[in-house]
Amino acid sequence: MFGDNIRRLDLDEAKALPFVRQPVFLLFLMAFAMPIAFATWSALLNNFVIEVAGFTGVEIGWLHTVREIPGFLAIGVIFLIIFVREQVLGLISLILLGLATGMTAYFPQFGGILMLTLLSSIGFHYYEAVNQSLQLQWIDKAKAPQTLGWLTAAGSFASLIAYGLLVLTWKTFDLSYETVYLIAGGITVLIAAFCLFYFPQFETPHPQNKKMVLRKRYWLYYALQFVSGARRQIFVVFAAFMMVERFGFEVHEITGLFLINYVANMIFAPLIGRAIGVFGERKMLVFEYVGLTLVFLAYGGIYYFGWGVVLAAGLYVVNHLFFSMAFALKTYFQKIADPADIAPTAAVAFTINHIAAVFLPVVLGYMWVSSPASVFIAAAGMAVTSLVLSFLIPRHPEPGHETIFARLKPVAAQ
C-alpha cells in the first residue's frame, strides 16, 4: 500500500514531535492548501463561464450538477481506504484538485469546462470526506469545537490571500484566467506534495470500519446532512451567479465580496467554535437555521421588490457567516459516533449530503430562467426543515442519546 515505507506513529507518540510535524499542524496545512485552488476557481467561475463560454442559468445548472456527482459518489472512499491510507488519500485528492484547477482555463468550451470541473470535484469531495474523518479521529472531543473553529479560520485566511491578490492584481496587471488558475492550482499541488512526504503516517487508536456503515441511531445526522446539502447547493450555485447576472459584478468586485466573507470568517469562526462548546450544538444550529431562513427570504425579496445591490451583497456575507456554524453538525456526530464508524460514516454522510445536489442545480437552473425568486424561496423552505430537525438534538448528545427521543442506554450495533 502507498505510504508503507513512511514512518508510522500513533497519536500519543506524535505528541512528542515538534508542533510542525504533529497531526493538527498537518490538518492546518491541508485546510490552508485546499482553498487556494478551490476559492480561486469559485471566484473566477461565474465571470469565466459567462464571458468566455456564454453560460446562462441552464449551463451553470448543468455544470454544478456535474460538479456534485463526485460528492454523491464519495461513498467510494470506503472502498479506497482498503488500499490507500486515509492520510495519503486526502493528500492525493488535494493534488488532483490543484492539477484540475490549474488546467481549467485551457479548455473554455462547454465540454472541456465540465470535464475539468468533474476532475477537480473528485479531488475536492474526496479530500473533504477524508479530511472530515481525520479531523474527528485526530482531534480530542473536548477541544473539537475550538480546533475546528481555528481550522475554519485557517481556510478563510488562505481564501483571503487568494482573493486579496485577485482584487489587487486582476486589473492592475491585466491578468488572464489561464495565469491565475495555473498559479493557484500549482500552489495547492506543491503544498499537498510537501505534506505527503514530510509528515509521518499517523495511526489512530481505533481502526476504521472499511465497509459501508448505516446505523439507525444516526438517522437524525443523516437527515440534517441531506437537507443541508440541498439548501447549501442553492446558495453555492445561484447566489454569486445572481451578483454577476443581475448586478453586473466584475471579477475584482465579486472577489472583493468573497474577501469580505473570509475576513469575517477568520474573525468569527474561532468565536463560533467557542460558542458551540459553551451553548451546545442544538442552540447553535437553531440559531443558524433561523438566520438562513430569513436570509433566503430576503434574497427572494430582491426579485419581488427590486431591492438593490447593497442589500444583496450584505446578504451574501451574512449567509456565509451562518454557514460557518455548520461544523456544529460535525461535533454532534463526533459525540454520538462509535470511533470506528467515523471514516465510513463521513463518506456516507457526504453521499447523503449530495443526493439532492446531483439533480437540484439543473432542475433549479430551468426554474431560474423563469423565476429566480422562487429558487431562493425553495431554499428558505429547506432551512425551515433543518430548523425543525435541529430541535431533536439533545443538549448533551452521546452514544445512546442521539436524539431527544432516545433514552440513554447501552449502544448495540444497529
Residues 315-348: tens digit of each pLDDT: 988 988 888 788 899 999 999 999 889 888 888 8
Do 162 and 264 sit in the same domain of this protein? no
Q: 379 and 246, same structural domain? A: yes
At 255-310, the pLDDT tens digits run 778 778 878 888 888 899 899 989 999 999 999 999 999 999 999 999 988 898 88
Same domain (yes/no): 107, 54: yes
Contact status, residue 26 vs residue 199, Cβ threshold 8 Å:
yes
Q: ∠378-382-385 over CA atoms, to 5°? A: 140
Amino acid at 145: P
243 within a domain of the structure (yes/no)? yes
Radius of gyration of the chain, Cα coordinates, nearest whole angstrom: 21
CB 140 within 8 A of CB 159: no
pLDDT band at residue 5 under the 50/70/90 scheme: very low
195 and 336 inside one domain: no
59 and 195 share one domain = yes
Is residue 407 situated within a structural domain?
Answer: no
pLDDT score recorded for residue 319: 87
Predicted confidence (pLDDT) per residue in 124-136, tens digit: 999 999 999 999 9
Asked if residue 209 is part of any domain, the answer here is no
How many domains does the chain divide into? 2
Q: Would residue 94 count as lying in a domain?
A: yes
Are 154 and 89 in the same domain? yes
Q: How confident is the model at residue 164, as a pLDDT?
A: 81
Element (H, E) at 228: helix 219-234
| Mean pLDDT, residues 209-233 taken together | 87
Q: Is the pLDDT of residue 356 over 80?
A: no
Q: Is there a single domain that holds both residue 236 and residue 192?
A: no
Is residue 238 in a domain?
A: yes
For residue 348, which of 236, 226, 204 has the smallest C-alpha distance?
226
- What mean pLDDT is predicted for residues 233-260? 80
Q: Is residue 270 part of a domain?
A: yes
Assigned domain for 3 exists: no
Considering only residues 224 and 211, tell me which one the structure prediction assigns the higher pLDDT.
224
Highest mean pLDDT: which range of 86-95, 161-170, 269-278, 365-374? 86-95
- For the cut 50, the answer to whether the pLDDT of residue 218 exceeds it is yes
Instruction: Show which of 202, 227, 258 is a domain's final residue.
Output: 202
Q: Are 168 and 314 in the same domain?
A: no
- Mean pLDDT over 119-123 rounds to 95
- Chain mean pLDDT for the chain: 87
Q: Is 225 helix (H, G, I), strand (E, B) or coil?
A: helix
Is the pLDDT reported for residue 414 higher than 60?
Answer: no
Q: Give 71-92 pLDDT, tens digit per residue.
A: 878 888 888 988 999 999 999 9
* Residues 200, 379: Cα–Cα separation, whole Å: 43
Q: Are residues 119 and 34 in the same domain?
A: yes
One domain for residues 191 and 284: no
Condensed to tens digits (0 to 9), the pLDDT of residues 20-46 reads 999 999 999 999 999 999 989 988 888
Range of the domain at 83: 8-202
Q: What would the mean pLDDT of 82-105 be, rounded to a whole number?
A: 95
Which of 202, 237, 259 is the last residue in one of the domains? Answer: 202
CATH code for the domain of 342: 1.20.1250.20
Q: What is the pLDDT of residue 394?
A: 94
Q: Residue 409 — pLDDT band, cuts 50, 70, 90?
A: low
Q: Are residues 231 and 190 in the same domain?
A: no
Residue 109 is classified by DSSP as S
Report the pLDDT value the prediction gives residue 321, as an integer from 0 to 100: 85
Q: Is there a domain that residue 175 lies in? A: yes
Cβ-contact 259, 389 below 8 angstroms: no
Q: Are residues 279 and 134 in the same domain?
A: no
Give percent of the chain with pLDDT exceeding 90: 43
Average pLDDT rounded to a whole number, residues 108-113: 90
